[in-house]
Amino acid sequence: MPQQVFKRPRALSDKATHFCPGCTHGTAHRLVAEAIDHFGVQEKTIGVACVGCAVFMYDYFNVDVIEAPHGRAPAVATGVKRAQPDKIVFTYQGDGDLAAIGTSEIIHTANRGENITVVFVNNTVYGMTGGQMAPTTLLGQQTTTSPYGRDFRTDGYPIRMAEMLATLEGVAYSARVSLHNPKAVLNAKKAIRKAFEMQVNEMGFSLVEVLSACHTNWRVKPLDGQKKVEEEMIPYFPLGVYKERTGKDFL
């Protein structure tokens, strides 16, 4: 009798995603679903969808989902978590959502130490709207609104959110991972699980920044996208754990 060694996580619905073929959003979704399964919290998890490619989260996760206005997911999640502190609440946000229009909400939600988990997918562009420059767009990177390449003199520098948020006292866990190869995916899986574990253990705010390729808007082949993540993104956005709280000493 053959033994099943691989299956769809319970928290992930049996639906084809709308993501471009080769996009790593699907991988990130799966890792989140695996973490939810791991802690057995599917029936008490509430997801908060952001505006962007990840807005259709309610179609892909077998959990209750509320759709937030652009950038406001951490504030919506704060409301959900304060009303239902016994539930598991996570947001899933892109770089335009979290690091541009939603900077105020993410910083103050982190600083209050809201006991929620944030999955932050950084692919350096506004994917859904057609590849415009994002706050995380690399210097020199061409996008539809930085046709001559991002110039620090006019556009500023790509923003490093995982490091910045790690400076806040309310943050229990802040890490940056990538999905560009199987080893990176396994590390990402660990980090996302850790972030949910922080919430399960009521340790405070947890965030995982996930470097992701947007080969469609980068105008490269999917595999070349993964290469760009490794060779161009990681040198500027180093992978690692920037903060990990080990005890409830903050109380």
Partner 1 sequence: MKELQLIKGNVALAEAAIQAGCHYYFGYPITPQNDIPEYLSENLPKAGGVFVQAESEIASINMVMGASASGVRAMTSSSGPGISLMQEGMSYMAGSEIPGLVVNIMRCGPGLGGISPTQGDYFQATRGGGHGDYYNIVLAPASVQEMFDLTIKAFELSDKYRNPSMVLADAILGQMKEPASLVPSEPVQFSDKPWALTGAKEHKPQYLKTLYLNDGEQEAHNLELKEKYDAIREKEALWEEKGLENAELVVIAFGTASRIVKTAIKMAKEEGHPVGLIRPLTLFPFPSKAIYEASKQTPKLLVVEMNTGQMLTDVQISASRDADIYFYGRPGGGVPTPEEVLVEIKRSINATASIQTPPRSVR
What's the chain's Rg over C-alpha atoms? 17
- CB closer to partner 1 out of 92 and 237: 92
Strands of the chain (E only): list them. Answer: 45-49, 64-67, 88-94, 117-122, 125-126, 132-133, 171-178, 205-211, 240-244
CB atoms within 10 A of CB 69: 14
- As measured in angstroms, the least distance from the Cβ of 170 to partner 1 is 13
Q: Say whether residue 42 binds partner 1 (CB under 8 A).
A: yes
Q: Say whether residue 170 binds partner 1 (CB under 8 A).
A: no
Long-range contacts: 78-81, Cβ < 8 Å, 24+? Answer: 78/109, 78/112, 78/114, 78/116, 80/46, 80/48, 81/114, 81/115, 81/116
Q: Say whether residue 75 binds partner 1 (CB under 8 A).
A: yes
Region near partner 1 per CB under 8 A, out of 75-83, 118-126, 149-157, 200-208 = 75-83
The residue from 22, 38, 67, 244 that contacts partner 1 (CB under 8 A) is 67
Tokens of 193: 């699980």
The residue from 9, 105, 133, 206 that contacts partner 1 (CB under 8 A) is 105
Region near partner 1 per CB under 8 A, out of 107-115, 164-172, 188-196, 222-230 = 107-115
Pair 9, 36: CB distance under 8 Å:
yes
- As measured in angstroms, the least distance from the Cβ of 110 to partner 1 is 11
Q: Say whether residue 45 binds partner 1 (CB under 8 A).
A: yes
Q: Say whether residue 62 binds partner 1 (CB under 8 A).
A: yes
Residues that bind partner 1 (CB under 8 A): 13, 42-46, 48-49, 55, 58, 61-69, 72, 75-84, 87, 104-105, 107-108, 112
